[in-house]
Amino acid sequence: MKLFKKLIAILAFAPVLALASEGFPLDRAPDRSTDMAALQNGAKLFVNYCLNCHSASAMRYNRLRDIGLTEDQIRNNLLFTGEKVGDLMKNTMTAKDAKAWFGAVPPDLSVIARAKASEAGSGPDWLYTYLRSYYKDDSRPTGWNNMVFPNVGMPHVLWELQGVRSAKFVEEKDPHDESKTEHKFEGFETVTPGKLTTIEYDNAVGDLVAYLQWMGEPAQSTRKRLGVWVVLFMAVLATLAWRLNASYWKEVK
């Protein structure tokens, strides 16, 4: 029951997050849902950069065996504060501290890739664009802003990897009213390079997003594989039923 309530609370963010991306085009996230190496790297990035503030309370560490990690690898590389392999992915930050530092409690990320889907694009598309659209903004409490989610409370936790960027805006006349001007985004400018090149950073974000997508439904690969066999079985069954029906009515006639 508690897990169900948590999932409902997470999905409640979906309308807000969908609106946040309105007006900024989303890039298509690479599909790495079956790439074990990418999922393993994404899990490492998630534990090192996301799990400090966010939780994934519907996921246990030992479920990472499904992406090719052994319990020893999980224990030695992904557990840092005394957790056990069978524990849920929770952080130690209290809700009170989170609200004081960020203005709001960071959402649980268990199904965040599904919650952020909208007419603008899929959840992975939103996450992929969001994590690549931060820029330096000294007017914000955290010193960061985001083109996909303007005035976001979350700081840029991956800034060491991406580097520091500024956003360039230009003033253009409103085509419908020449007395007004529009504040239009023109692009990003690098202020300080990060540890990764642009291509390397985009690949790292792609891996992280792939992991978040997988975490939302770890059994999705099995489900899809079984789905193919179920469809084939139903097709064979329907064919047999059709021929049996034809044979029965042939005798009746």
Provide the 8-state DSSP code for 65. G
The confidence score (pLDDT) of residue 98 equals: 80
Q: What is the dihedral of CA 184, 104, 159, 118, to 10 degrees?
A: -50
Per-residue confidence band for 163, with pLDDT thresholds at 50, 70 and 90: very high
Give 224's contacts (C-beta < 8 A, 6+ positions apart): none
The confidence score (pLDDT) of residue 10 equals: 43
CA-based nearest residue to 70, from 61, 83, 60: 61
Helix (H, G, I), strand (E, B) or coil at 58: strand
% of the chain beyond a pLDDT of 90: 60
Residue 108 above 80 pLDDT?
Answer: yes
Helix (H, G, I), strand (E, B) or coil at 82: coil
Q: What is the CATH number of domain 2-218?
A: 1.10.760.10
pTM: 0.79
% of the chain beyond a pLDDT of 70: 90
The confidence score (pLDDT) of residue 7 equals: 44
Helix (H, G, I), strand (E, B) or coil at 26: coil
Bridge partners, residue 167, by sequence: 188
The confidence score (pLDDT) of residue 101 equals: 79
Residue 13 above 50 pLDDT?
Answer: no
Q: What is the pLDDT of residues 168-206, one digit of tens each?
A: 998 887 777 777 777 788 899 999 999 999 999 999 999
- Share the mean pLDDT of the chain: 86
Q: What is the pLDDT of residues 221-244, one digit of tens each?
A: 778 788 888 999 999 999 999 988
The confidence score (pLDDT) of residue 243 equals: 86
User: Cα 114 from chain centroid?
Assistant: 8
